[in-house]
Each structure stands twice: as structure tokens, then as C-alpha cells.
Amino acid sequence: MFKKSRNKKKTSSNIDLQELDIHNIPKHVAIIMDGNGRWAKKRKMPRIKGHYQGMQTVKTITKQASDLGIEYLTLYTFSTENWTRPESEVNYIMNLPVDFLKTFLPELIEKNVKVETIGFISNLPNSTLKAIEQAKDQTKNNTGLKLIFAMNYGGRAEIVDGVKALYRKVQAKEIAIDDIDEELLSSNLMTKSYPDPELLIRTSGEQRISNFLIWQVSYSEFIFNEKLWPDFDSEELIKCLKIYQNRQRRFGGL
């Protein structure tokens, strides 16, 4: 770890950390990785090239997040709505975790990263599921950054599931209806083991939440970054953290 200093400090990726307060790094950063398709289109390449390049950015940002001491990094990898894309694109995205983990798992293990997921993963193709389950298993004792892939994830569906779970508990008389409060619903969501993200970043200039962690981002700071996801890098992440640190979080108070 590096210390806040007036002197120029650099991470392993040689990025200027001046003015970054290492005592105010958000514990949980969530990212909507948008702009892969546009990145490819600008280069007259097929959209899948953008997703491939997006996967490389996932590697860079994971390493940087781990170096910075971020504890949870949740990445919106595939939404419940993304199935409506052309089949060839869906198939390509579904194979990315296989490719990513084949090439990157040793480094994740070395960096003490723990791979986790949120989302309806049992509906993923077998090969995708197998790669993810293997990565989870091989990193299950790691104590560093939690790298959480939101795969086949949708915020509304997650809340509906949580409500159903609570209803079943009421029916089974495990809880009374008046026991239901915000905390109890939170503890019945897929994110129950994680703190709410302090910071949500969306790349590519779009300013939407797109059904991502809609319950959990109630008090998060939102940063809409102009870079297309494949162009997002460590420097941009650190810029976002500096913007975050200059915001005043009031949680409804003064």
C-alpha cells in the first residue's frame, strides 16, 4: 500500500496518485461497462471485437482496484435484458468468462482476488457456468479484492426474488410481517454479503442505471465517464476516485 503524500506517488501501473487520499478509497465500486459496441464500430470492426477488448480492460481495472485496496468490485457483465441481442453476440459474450478465466485466473489467485457472482447464473450455458464455478472454487479462500461478476443480473428481478423469499418466511412463520424492514430485504438480496457501493461508474457517456443494483445504489455517488469501456484504464479509474473524494456525501442530512 502507498501513503498519501505531497510527493508524486505511483502505483505499479505508473499512474500519478497525487491528491488521491488512500484513507478515503470506496470499499465497493460498481461499474456499468458500456461502449464496447461503439468502440468496435469506430474502428469498423465487428461488435465482438469491442467485447474482447472490454475483457482486457476488466483485467487492467481488476489489478488496479486490487492495488488500490478497493474491497469489492462489481462489474455489470450481462443483464437479464441482454439476451435480446443477436445470438452470435450473446454466444460470444457467454464465452468471455471462459477465455478470461483461462488466461487470467493464475494472476487473480496470485493477487489474492476472490471471484464471486450475482445474477441468475443457473441459466447460463454449461461451459460458462463451469468456468465460473471453477474460478469461485479456486479462489474461495482468497481474502483480497472480491471481484463480483453480475451475470444474467437484473435489479428488479433480484428484488422480486427477495420479496418472494420474505413471503415464504412469513408463511413458514419464521418471521412476522412487521419484521420486514430495509435491512431484512437487503439481507434477502443477492448482494447480502456486500456493503452497498459508495461509487457507481458508467462508461461511454450514457447516463442511465439500466436495472443495475437499483436497490443498493440509493446513496451511491454516480460518475458518468466519457470513455468507451475498452478505452477506460487505470488513469481513468483514479480520476473517478478523485472526483468521488471531492464529493460531499450527505445521506439525506446536511
Catalytic residues: 34, 82
Report the C-alpha gap between 47 and 52 in whole angstroms: 9
Which residues of the shown chain bind ligand FPP in the complex (CB under 6 A)?
A: 33-38, 51, 54-55, 58, 77, 82, 93, 96-97, 100, 229
Minimum CB distance to ligand FPP, residue 77 (Å): 5
Burial of 235 (0-12, 13-18, 19+ CB in 10 A): middle
Q: Please, which residues have CB within 8 angstroms of residue 134's CB and are 6 or more apart in sequence?
A: 101, 105
Output 18 or 95, the one with its CB closest to ligand FPP: 95
Asked if residue 77 belongs to a known ligand binding site, the reply is no
Output 20 or 58, the one with its CB closest to ligand FPP: 58
Asked if residue 35 belongs to a known ligand binding site, the reply is yes
Report the C-alpha gap between 102 and 113 in whole angstroms: 15
User: Residue 107: enclosing H or E segment and its boundaries?
Assistant: helix 87-110
Output 20 or 213, the one with its CB closest to ligand FPP: 213
Asked if residue 39 belongs to a known ligand binding site, the reply is yes
Asked if residue 28 belongs to a known ligand binding site, the reply is no
Minimum CB distance to ligand FPP, residue 247 (Å): 26
For the beta sheet containing 199-202, the strands, ordered from the edge strand earlier in sequence to the opposite edge, are 114-118, 146-153, 72-79, 28-32, 199-202, 221-224
CB 172 within 8 A of CB 95: no
Minimum CB distance to ligand FPP, residue 170 (Å): 37
CB 223 within 8 A of CB 43: no
Output 25 or 115, the one with its CB closest to ligand FPP: 115
- Cell numbers at residue 31, please? 461499474
Asked if residue 250 belongs to a known ligand binding site, the reply is no
Q: What residue number has its CB nearest to ligand FPP?
A: 37
Question: Residue ranges for the binding site for substrate?
Answer: 35-39, 47, 51, 79-81, 83, 85, 202, 208-210
Annotated binding site: 34-39, 47, 51, 79-81, 83, 85, 202, 208-210, 221
